[in-house]
Structure 1
Amino acid sequence: MNTDIENLFKDRVLGHPAGLFVLFFTEMWERFSFYGMRILLVLFLTAPLVSDNPGWDWPREHALSLIGTYASLLYLTPIIGGYIADKFTGYRWAVVIGCLIMTLGHASMALETTASFYLGLALLIIGTGFFKPNITSIISEMYKGKESKKDGAYTIFYMGVNAGAFFGMMLCGYLAENFGWSWGFGLAGIFMMFGMLQFWLAGPLFGSIGAKPTKTYEVELPQNINEESPSLVEEKEAAEKLNPFTMFDKILIVLSSVGGLLYLFNDPLEKIENINLLPFEVGSLSGSNIVVLGALVLFLILLITRVSRYIPVVRDRIIAVAIFGLFTVFFFAAFEQSLGSMTLFARDYTNRELLGNSAVIFKIVDALLTTVPLIIITWVLYLLFKKTYSRIGISNIVLAIAFIGVWGLVMYRLYDKLSGDAAQIDASWFGILNSFFIITLAPLFSKWWESKYNPSAAMKYGLGLILLGLGFAVLAFGTADIPQGAKTASVSMIFLILAYLLHTMGELCLSPVGLSYLSKLVPARMIGFMFGIWYLAIAIGQKAAGTTGGMIDKISEQYSLSTFFLIFTLVPIAVGTISILLNPVLKKLMHGVR
């Protein structure tokens, strides 16, 4: 057993090594900055030039085109960041580098000039590539030989993800909407810096864990993926020997990647700056559409030719993964409307002014939502401080300063919001509902998955997509009376709250399933390649979310806002139904993997 791992497990907090909570807080601050900034993007870009808080007054289509490309690239750079960490920097230095680059990105965006804004987005994309895959890889090394505790570790870690998203959207959104956009962007950068410092200063706690590149890059999951029968290991080894990457495979990878990236960059450039990198047409198809379709065809050829070279059992399982990947594209294309068209709906079409008893009830709920989670997390900080102060005291002091800052902002926000008889809700506030519902509902879904009623993968995907569609059905119903082409309305916020509830239930059905089954179904040699494909599926879904969300004005003017949301109702429900109908076929393709 690694001595550093044993040393980590000597100082325990809530039954886990103190180092896990260093990673918990690092991830929390990174998600604070990431979601705090991202919830502001569409609001800042589309805010009127002439207003109390002027933005850039972009058309919604332009803003969502840029956001779609940005979100898509966030899922592509981790493939490169993981490779660099594995070969050169090690996981811990990759995390520090990522945090530093993201801090500079937030600082750049706070300047609010065109050049600094684009530079900031680029730095955030690069920084996320270093950060995202490598912090989980540190947990992988920490729990080697202690796999039975991994599920609990990841439950704690992902609570940090949601806590950061929750407070980031709440506080960055509050400052940006009430004091100015640069305040929100700047706050995100400040707490990203705190996250970097506390992680870097806590280095002695980890010893050699994550410090040096290892021979194999592990993509870590909440489940143990290494429990395989000897026959399956032999099967995978045989498959690897029979199916090396050929030169043809590598050429297809390069060509499809270049084509996809050209489309990602050309779409916002053409719409926003009127710069077309692909100025040609074939019939009714633009150069951009031809390139992306060509990239898709080349990618499918790569997948089909490579999969066909595997033995039948492995081939069938990879086909099942590909089908789940296609469902994932449809899911994220609709789900990621939460930071696009649904945020616009919250700002422009939702009644956010409460009076009388409604205002009193909201203020009480808002105060409890804000303070109770912060009290719990502060208590965890206290436990960490007690266990590790003698070893990483300066790191703990930095963390304490950050929490004092959060408490100060929370108290100021509550004082501001509690004063007066009415309650004015920020548009960005609704973004916290997803994190809140995940924290409250995750234990119930976890119990469901552990019971004898645990559905199959195809059923979980189907339920997730149908629940997602039902969330949009609520919005379609709530907007039914809004006139065609209306730019503003005053719909009850209950519709948006119910939509977020259903969407989160859908996410809990589907999101944890994909990577888990991927790890169990694909051969060892192809695991890195298939994880890349999986992130590619999410990236495509992110871009599709931006593209389809950008149609909100066009569809609202030609038909109605209700029709816009009805499209997002029917498509996920239809795809979810297909997933459920394919359940027997997918079970057969998976050959006993559950």
Structure 2
Amino acid sequence: MSQNSTDHFFKNPVLGHPAGLFVLFFTEMWERFSFYGMRSLLILFLTTAITDGGWEWSRENASALFGSYVGLVYLSTMLGGYFADKIIGFRWAVVVGALLMTLGHASMALETEFTIYLGLVLLVFGNGFFKPNMTSILSEMYKDRPEKKDGAYTLFYMGVNSGAFFGILLCGYLGEKVGWSYGFGLAGIFMFFGMLQFWFSQNIFGTIGLKPNKETTEAAELLDTDKRNPFTPWQLGVIALSAILGLLWVLNDPATKISGGKVNIFAFLGENGNSIAIVTALILFVILLLYRFTQYSTITRQKMMAVSFFAFLTIFFWAIFEQSPNSLTIFANDYTNRVLEGNWSVGFLIANTLITVLPLAIITYVLILLFKQTFATYAKANLILGASFVIIWLIALWMLTRDYYTAGFLSLSDGTLEALKIEKVTKPLTEVPATWFSTLNSLFIISLAPLFSKWWESKYNPSANLKFGVGMGLLALGMACVAFGSSGIEPGAKTASVSMIWLILVYLFHTMGELCISPVGLSYVSKLVPARMIAFMFGVWYLAVAIGMKGAAMFGENIDKIANEHGLSYFFWMLTIISLAVAVFSVIMSPVIKKLMHGVR
């Protein structure tokens, strides 16, 4: 065994993998719990009436702020990745990110104007430090066991989706049913638990993720044999200018709308200053990207062009897919019949109990297996993790019990009902929270991911273009469902009672589309781009994701204008047509992109 071998991680495995994988699993789970829990509430909180504890913003302003927030989250990963690689190492980056996010959620729980904005800023930087470095630690741990990587990432991805599921379910429930502060605060509590668990068990990773030093940096450079093409001063200047313009635009867009035009950084450029700024930034970046292509060999250049093509498609994917916390949540809240009676109420309560308790039981079993291997060495981390699961079980059981009381299946005294703000009912009645539908994405991913994985490994594995085409087609199918379901809503209507089956179908088809695009996108970056350029191309990829996120908000901003003039169905049909057009474009371009990929699948 070589001195730098990672085989020692596999001496005492848990489910065939290093115990360190499950430390990352639970840390990432609590981070996703906090991220998706808060995200599911933000638009609802901003648009809810002041009398119900919200800010009573217009949907346009709420979407603008939300879009800038999620866009900055993805852009900040480049900053966090740089600091981790060059200065503080992966571990400190994770801890710093987790601490910033904990403070961000705590700040939002105070619900003042200043603390909400401060919380969002802290969450942006926290995600930037945290997000790219968890997978970096995981990758290093398996560098000598590449055959185990697929299984490791599958388990890790389950942690991601488990956290998202429970975050949306519990934070969303508390925020909607009890109070916004409780939902925002709960997200911060579990982020804090995740940070402590990681901190007290970090030695399980050996030397992985420590601060970089001169020796490790030089060793990494010796392994890199790709042609060097350092950025020249003028290129760095173009990057700086386009980055500053883009950042100012992302901040200025919601500020201008929220302030009614009183705050406008680009006012000196005239009425269309915002548009001029962002178009200039994009043109500068595209010029630089095209120039960089000319600095490499033909094959490398063509592979990078293929990556750029998929990044371009990704913009449209996220712009449509990320209607989930935006226009689809608004649709669920205002236009969907979420009240179930009689047998439908019984069926929902039973189903909700099963989808809450069974995943939690499975993850608790994994936790027990981890305890058996690591408790003697990492007692503090295990006790913190155990305590967090006790709390999550208590909250989940409280939520389910409260639902049964609310529906009239369990009895309470009139005084207790009044204290708990539960109305007395004469027949089984359940109101499904608007945020509940967002949990379906995580459930469908966990259920369907193994099937799609088998498909990719079979002889019927489609080409990259076909995968993107199928993914965008499924996205179109989902939007067509909600467009058809909302066809009876009159233009200008503020409420409706559309069947919830349409939303369930949307999340089913959109999740299938996500499985065709999201997991395979970054894989193509790593396969097509040589090591020397991979950081730059990952930057291009995350820039595309950020543009898509902001694009989703820009779609959401116009929902009221379009719905008032043409009807809500028209809005969703527009998104359907855009998705379908991109799907067809991806398939048509298959022969061209196949040549550019030079045999990479």
What TM-score do you get using the length of structure 2 for normalisation?
0.93
User: Compared with structure 1, are the counterparts of its residues 151 and 451 closer, same or farther at alpha carbon in structure 2 (3 Å cutoff)?
Assistant: same
1:172 is matched with 171
In the TM superposition, residue 3 of structure 1 has moved relative to its aligned partner by 6.7
* Structure 2 residue 360 is matched with structure 1 residue 369: no
How far did 1:312 drift? 1.4
Q: State the shift of 1:351 in Å.
A: 0.4
Give the Cα separation in 2 of the matches to 1:499 and 1:486.
22
CA distance in 2, matches of 1:292, 1:344: 28
Kindly report which structure 2 residues correspond to 1:431-580, keeping only aligned pairs within 5 A, or say none.
431-580=438-587
Q: In 2, distance between residues paired with 1:526 and 1:204?
A: 32
Q: Secondary structure at the match of 1:12?
A: coil
1:96-495 counterparts in 2 under 5 A? 96-213=95-212, 237=225, 240-241=227-228, 243-273=229-259, 274-281=262-269, 286-419=272-405, 420=408, 421-495=428-502
Q: Please give the alpha-carbon distance, in whole angstroms, between the structure 1 residues aligned to 2:461 and 2:77.
A: 32
Q: Is 1:88 the counterpart of 2:74 in the alignment?
A: no
CA distance in 1, matches of 2:250, 2:324: 21
Map Cα deviations across residues 569-592 of structure 1 (whole Å, 9 max, x no partner).
000110111100111111011111
Q: 1:30 is matched with which residue?
A: 31
1:283-324 CA-partner distances (Å, limit 9, x unpaired): xx6111000011111111101111122221111111111111
Match of 1:58 in 2: 57
Greater alpha carbon shift after TM alignment, 354-363 vs 25-34 = 354-363
1: CA distance between counterparts of 2:254 and 2:584?
Answer: 34
1:206 Cα deviation after fit = 2.1
Q: Is the 8 A contact 1:4 1:207 kept in 2?
A: no
C-alpha distance 217-545 of structure 1, shift in aligned 2 (>3 A): farther
Structure 1 residue matching 2:378: 3-state secondary structure? helix
Distance 1:215 1:24, change over 3 A: farther
5+ residue gaps, structure 2, are: 409-427
Which runs of 5 or more residues in structure 1 are unaligned?
A: 219-225, 227-232
Amino acid at match of 2:161: N
- Counterpart of 1:24, as a letter, is F
Whether the 8 Å CA contact 1:4–1:206 is kept in 2: the answer is no
SS in 2 for 1:11: coil
Once the two structures are TM-superposed, the CA of residue 244 in structure 1 deviates from its matched residue by: 3.3
**CA drift at 1:281:** 4.3
The aligned residue for residue 16 of structure 2 is 15
Shift of residue 7, structure 1, vs aligned partner = 3.7
Is the Cα contact below 8 Å between 1:204 and 1:391 reproduced in 2?
no
Counterpart of 2:115 in structure 1: which amino acid? S
Contact kept in structure 2, 1:476 and 1:566, CA below 8 Å: yes
Letter in 2 for 1:19: G
Aligned residues: 574
Aligned equivalents of 1:136 and 1:247: distance in 2? Answer: 32
| Distance in 2 (alpha carbons) for counterparts of 1:215 and 1:60 | 51
Q: Secondary structure at the match of 2:377?
A: helix
Q: Structure 1 counterpart of 2:511, which letter? A: T
**CA deviation after TM superposition for structure 1 residue 217, in Å:** 11
Q: Larger deviation: 159-168 or 199-208?
A: 199-208
Decide whether aligned partners of structure 1 residues 268 and 422 sit closer, same or farther in structure 2, where only a CA change above 3 A counts. same
Contact 1:256 1:296 in 2 (8 A): yes
Distance 2:510 2:263 in 1: 36
* Identity %, equivalent residues: 57
1:248 Cα deviation from its structure 2 partner:
2.4
Instruction: Give the C-alpha shift of residue 2 in structure 1.
Output: 4.5
Indicate the SS of the match to 1:423: strand
Tell which deviates more after alignment, 375-384 or 358-367. 358-367
Q: Choose 354-363 or 207-216, whichever is displaced more.
A: 207-216
Aligned partner of residue 75 in structure 1, secondary structure? helix
Paired with 1:116 and 1:319, the residues of 2 have a C-alpha distance of 43
Note closer, same or farther for the CA distance 1:198–1:4 as it changes in structure 2 (3 Å cut).
farther
> Counterpart of 1:500 in structure 2: which amino acid?
Y
Q: Which amino acid aligns with 1:58?
A: W
Superposition deviation, residue 523 in structure 1: 2.8
- SS of structure 1 residue aligned to 2:115: helix
Quick one: distance in 2 between partners of 1:151 and 1:375?
24
Q: Following TM superposition, by how much is the alpha carbon of 1:408 offset from its aligned partner in structure 2, in angstroms?
A: 0.2
Task: Name the SS for the 2:375 alignment partner.
Answer: helix
**Partner of 1:491: helix, strand, or coil?**
coil
For residues 520-553 of structure 1, give each alpha carbon's deviation from its aligned partner in whole angstroms, at most 9, with x where no partner exists: 2123221100000100000000001011111000
What is the one-letter code of the residue matched to 1:404? V
Return the letter of the residue paired with 2:11. K
Which whole-Å CA distance do the structure 2 matches of 1:16 and 1:132 have between them?
A: 22
Quote the Cα distance in structure 2 between the aligned partners of 1:70 and 1:361: 37
Q: CA deviation at 1:215?
A: 7.2
Q: Partners in 1 of 2:308 and 2:65 — Cα distance?
A: 28
SS in 1 for 2:376: helix
Contact 1:4 1:209 in 2 (8 A): no
Q: Given the superposition, is the C-alpha separation of residues 2 and 401 from structure 1 closer, same or farther in structure 2, using an over 3 Å criterion? A: farther
